[in-house]
Amino acid sequence: MADRIGIVIKKESDQYAQVVTDRKGACGGCQSTPHGCRSCLSSAKMESHVANPVGAEPGDLVKIHLSTEDLYLGAAILYLIPIIGLLLGAFAGVWMSAVSGLAVTAGTIGGAAVGLVIGFAAVIILDRAAGIRRRIMPTITAVLTSNADISDNNGASCCG
């Protein structure tokens, strides 16, 4: 992800803020269908919940950073853990059906459902862990233009 520029719209606490940035195009403007892709129909702005260690205030223009490896880690946690839970649950369901005498299909479906729920629960637990959340959350690294600086300069004149 590298760095992006955004505007703080809400300061949630001393540690977090809501920032709005320009959305990058999902398809880069490709015209793969006769009607074109539909990514342009979504909003051109994106709101993000970010860490605010520099104390940016609403209206400040800020630089946001999230490393590519942390982005991939967050995606892996969100997408892979439930799938792994689903697969492990399905295999455990096959084994349990063989042991208990149930139909293999019922054991597989039941085990997959339980494994998926356990996978989602693991994602929620990992998201609430402060160390992991801090690592995979975008962070404000600098205030480029402060809202206070802009309001101070509005009343100033250059020649007076």
pTM of the predicted model, to two decimals?
A: 0.64
Over residues 144-158, the pLDDT tens digits come to 888 766 555 554 444
* Structural element, H or E, at residue 123: helix 104-128
- Predicted local confidence at residue 66, as pLDDT: 84
pLDDT in tens, 122-143: 999 988 888 888 888 888 888 8
At residue 38, does pLDDT exceed 50? yes
Taking Cα atoms as reference points, which of 112, 77, 82, 113 lies closest to residue 94? 112
Q: What mean pLDDT comes out for the span 54-74?
A: 88
Compute the distance between CA of residue 84 and CA of residue 86 in angstroms, rounded to an integer. 5
Using CB atoms within 10 A of its CB, is residue 22 exposed (0-12), middle (13-18) or buried (19+)? exposed
The domain locations on the chain are 2-27+36-152
